Structure 1
Amino acid sequence: MGLFGFGRKKRQREEAERAENAESDEALKSAQSTADNEDSAEDDEQSGPAHPDQAVSAYDRRGEEYGPWDTADDDVPDYDDYLDLGAYYLPFMRGIELRIKANRATHDILGSTITYGGSSLEIEAFAAPKSMGLWDDVREDLLSGNERAEVKPGVFGMELNLPVVVKGGRVVNTRIVGVDGPRWMLRGIFSGNAASDPDHAETKALNGYFADIVVERGEEPLAPRDLIPMHPPVSPAERRAANGETNAEGDAADEANGKEHLKDIPDRPNGPFDSDQQTEVKTTLSRGPMFSEVR
């Protein structure tokens, strides 16, 4: 999986080069695209499209209005400032902690968990078949294997509420969501306020965070339900250094792309997360080995 040269910046550079050679054609395409978008917007207003804050029975707008996104989506967000974990890119949000899950024996990276206030979000990316999604089957397997599980419509389509008994006999309520993309499925396990109170500020924040994730499936052959390979976190600063780009050049690029406001964030970390936010990990809620700290 490529670590560099992604997001809207790369696309903008490529479009600029094409525009130099076919300026009139690009102008015509742009005008046609604007007209099509206006027509589409009118149709969406009439049909009442799904929104991340509304419960829907089918989540079929991924990659058109909101994510989780695929790196090949036309409207994928600019993820140059995201944290690269190989299988997916995580956006920055103030006040969160990042925990990395790894196999204790092999140290293979298996997933990540975002903690925000009294809520958490466990994130895993799986390979899926080319011709069909994976979430419907996974949800049915979880439902049939857990008598206390309950399916209901949520912001990402049909979601699963699953009470989990943890160490000490305490019951933790979880909300499990899955979104199918091109040859991948992204699963999120919400707990805390984000699992029990749909109107809580932490719920809305983590719903939005999950929707902003960008997935990179890669081209390697993987069996359905295999975890998409991950690597230790790579920050934007590390990517720039690997490309020979200085921090000053990176800041100038951010300003040119309308991100000058990011320089004013107090105590801005070097990339989306600093080392203090990469803490010990907990066991996963799914079957598998125990996990230990990797960074």
Structure 2
Amino acid sequence: MAEQEQAGPMRESGPWDADEPHPDTDRIDLGGLRLPHNPDFDVRLASVGDQHVGVVVLYDESSLQLQALAAPRSSGLWDEVKTKILAQAKHLEEREGPFGSELAGEMRVEGDSRPARYLGIDGPRWFLLAVISGKAAVDESVAAAFVDFIKDVVVVRGDEPMAREEPIPLSRPTDQPAAQPEDRQGLNPFKRGPEISEIR
């Protein structure tokens, strides 16, 4: 822990960049995102074709969608993405939220409408978009669980060149390279691991 403190002042909360000092807690490793464990949450990978592009978390009649995108080194994406969302969704208004400016109002999906909040967080060379919909979009007590979850997400941007707004690739925990035997000390084969299902 002392090494992390020497690496620089630790912010009070994330989302964290994988290369910055952050709390070393047990997280679900999905490659481009590492998610905190919450036994009340149903975590699913969202896929387009063969690529995992985002995460959907279900909890208490609500959903949280997370997507991490590559961003330019020089500037964030949230102002630009916000403008695009407002152009498509007329029933949203801008307000201040736990991560700064956010959009809140109604989300229209296939003729149906439900309350929604769009939260954007600019990080170093990445952008994290979080969309809270359902009960949590209007009930702060339910939203708080999602906000705490977002605050402990770690984004793993990697060093590969990526196009602006390209989704940072995700993988199922079972898709990760197998650990070497010496790395597996402390692994309890009888402990139930995270169950990740897919949405296509």
Shorter-chain-normalised TM-score: which range?
Answer: 0.7 to 0.9
In structure 1, what residue type is equivalent to 2:30? Answer: L
Distance 1:66 1:280 in 2: 28
Report matched runs for 1:1-295 at 5 Å.
Answer: 15=3, 64-74=11-21, 76-79=22-25, 81-103=26-48, 106-167=49-110, 169-198=111-140, 200=141, 202-234=142-174, 242-245=179-182, 249-250=186-187, 269-270=192-193, 273-274=194-195, 278-281=196-199, 292=200
Q: How many correspondences in the alignment?
A: 197
- Unpaired segments ≥5 residues, structure 1: 1-7, 16-29, 38-62, 252-266, 282-291
1:254 aligned partner: none
1:4 aligned partner: none
Distance 1:182 1:159, change over 3 A: same
Q: SS in structure 2 opposite 1:249? A: coil
In structure 2, what residue type is equivalent to 1:77? Answer: P
In structure 2, what residue type is equivalent to 1:177? Answer: L
Q: Is the 8 A contact 1:175 1:195 kept in 2?
A: yes
Distance 2:172 2:89 in 1: 33
In structure 2, what residue type is equivalent to 1:94? Answer: P
- Unpaired segments ≥5 residues, structure 2: none
Distance 2:73 2:184 in 1: 40
Distance 1:165 1:143 in 2: 12
In structure 1, what residue type is equivalent to 2:113? Answer: V
Asked which structure has the greater CA Rg, the reply is 1
Distance 2:63 2:90 in 1: 24
Distance 1:124 1:208 in 2: 17
TM-score normalised by structure 1 residue count = 0.60
Name the structure with the higher helix share: 1
For residues 103-158 of structure 1, the C-alpha deviation after alignment (integer angstroms, 9 at most, x for no partner) is: 2xx31111110111222110100011101111111112212332212111011111
TM-score normalised by structure 2 residue count = 0.87
Distance 2:40 2:169 in 1: 27
Which structure carries more relative contact order (alpha carbon 8 Å, separation 6+)?
2
Distance 1:83 1:173 in 2: 28
Distance 1:158 1:246 in 2: 42
Distance 2:191 2:181 in 1: 22
Identity %: 35
Distance 1:162 1:87, change over 3 A: farther
Between 1:126-135 and 1:221-230, the stretch displaced more is 221-230
Distance 1:227 1:246, change over 3 A: closer
Distance 1:85 1:280, change over 3 A: closer
Name the structure with the higher strand share: 2
Distance 1:151 1:242, change over 3 A: same
